[in-house]
Every structure is written in structure tokens, then in C-alpha cells.
Amino acid sequence: MGDPQEERLQQAVSGGEESAFEEAYKVFAGRVRLAAWRISHRPDWLDEIVNESWYRAFQKRTSYDPAKPFLHWMAGIVQNVYREQCRKSPLTLGVTGESEGETRLDTVTPAQLADEAETLAALNDCIGKLSPEDARLVRLRFFENKTLRDISESVGVPESTLREARLPGVMDALRRCLEKKNIEISQIFPAQGGAESQ
């Protein structure tokens, strides 16, 4: 992890200090929620998964090994809670027996899930630094997968302007912000040609 403050907090959590656990909740709540969303993609389950994960973590805090990043530990708990939720509701996502989320449980480790949550948190932070108009462009193009034509009609900006100036400028701003956080934009948007293509 490399953050001395977070490392001290991890030591205190493993010692069972309730105040340290409360502080850990404040520091990691957003990233734990992103991890829960990343593994489940179930808005109807999200609060239950997150709340149950924090409850279990609090109950087991003295078993936490501070040599392991706190978010990795929490991601493992999130996965376990989600797995149990899937077993209670086998018809998740309308698929009998095994859901997309359950399949993903077998292919991603808690460390990978935690890293993805860190990346998403960084992306959210960088998008939050854009103007509301530019943030909307990013969401429409890369999260809602709208075509440039649809976006042009939605925001009232010519398609050619979006393709040649607006989106490339927005992506450059995101790239610079993410680089400061040691994240390559290609980790998040692998097909960077998307801004210029149909």
C-alpha cells in the first residue's frame, strides 16, 4: 500500500481498537462499496452486501493480518457475502443456477477486486474534477456506450466537434489526472479509439 497513515491504521484495526475501525470505515467505505458493485452489479443488493461486509469485518477485526492491505481483506469479505447472497437467490440476474456474478467469483481474487475498486475510485475522482458538461460526455460515451451521433443530439454539440476536439480534450484531461495517480487510462478505457470512432 505504501501509505504510512493507512499502515498505522491497519495495525490499530488488527489490535481491535473500535475507534481505529471507525476510522478505517471512513477511509475505505467508498472503495468497499465500489468493490461490492464491481463483483455484483446488483443495485438491489448493494446496501445489504456492503452493510453485512462491514458488520462481519468489525466482528472479525482482531483476526485481520495488518501485513495484508485492508482493502484486500475487505474485498475477500465482500466476495464471501456476495457468494452467500447468490446461494440464497439462485435465480440471480434471471439465469438459473449460476449468475454472471457467481462466475466472476471464480475468476477474480480479492486483491484484483480491491485493485479494481482503487482504479474506479481514482476514475470517479478524476471525473469529478471535470466540468459537469464534460463529465456527462464521458458517462454517455464510455459508460452508456452512446454513439457520437446520439451524444451530439443529446448535448447539442456537432458530431464533428465531439470527434475532433471535445472528446479528445476531455480524455487528455482524464489521462493527465489518472497519470498523477499512477494509473494508465488504457486500464480503464482499453479501446481508446472509441472517442474518435462511430
In the prediction, which pLDDT does 103 show? 56
- Nearby residues of 32 by Cβ (< 8 Å), 6 or more positions away: 50, 53, 54, 71, 74, 75, 78, 117
In the prediction, which pLDDT does 197 show? 41
User: Cell 495488518 appears where?
Assistant: 66
CA angle 163–130–153, rounded 5-degree value: 40
Q: Mean pLDDT across the chain, nearest whole number?
A: 86
In the prediction, which pLDDT does 89 show? 76
What the chain holds in terms of domains, given with CATH numbers, is 1-110 (1.10.1740.10), 129-198 (no CATH)
In the prediction, which pLDDT does 79 show? 95
- pLDDT-derived band at 185 (thresholds 50, 70, 90) equals confident
- Nearby residues of 52 by Cβ (< 8 Å), 6 or more positions away: 81
Q: What is the DSSP string of 83-120?
A: HHHHHHSTTGGG-SS--HHHHHHTT--HHHHHHHHHHH
Tens-digit pLDDT profile for residues 141-158? 888 889 999 999 999 999
Model confidence, pTM: 0.76
* Percentages (nearest 5) of helix, strand, coil residues in the chain: 75, 0, 25
Q: Can you count the helices (H) and strands (E) in the chain?
A: 10, 0
d(CA 55, CA 108): 23
- pLDDT-derived band at 187 (thresholds 50, 70, 90) equals confident
In order of 73, 118, 148, 180, the CA distances from 185 in angstroms are: 26, 14, 20, 11
What is the arithmetic mean of pLDDT over 151-177? 94
170, 175, 176: which is closest to 185 by C-alpha?
A: 175
195, 92, 101: which is closest to 185 by C-alpha?
A: 195
In the prediction, which pLDDT does 74 show? 97
Instruction: Answer whether residue 173 shows pLDDT above 60.
Output: yes
Tens-digit pLDDT profile for residues 25-79? 999 999 999 999 999 888 899 999 999 999 999 999 999 999 999 999 999 999 9
Structural contact between residues 77 and 56, judged by C-beta atoms closer than 8 angstroms: yes
Tens-digit pLDDT profile for residues 3-33? 777 888 888 998 888 999 999 999 999 999 9
In the prediction, which pLDDT does 41 show? 85
Tens-digit pLDDT profile for residues 85-117? 988 876 554 444 444 555 566 678 999 999 999
d(CA 110, CA 66): 15
Tens-digit pLDDT profile for residues 116-141? 999 999 999 999 999 999 999 999 98
In the prediction, which pLDDT does 140 show? 92
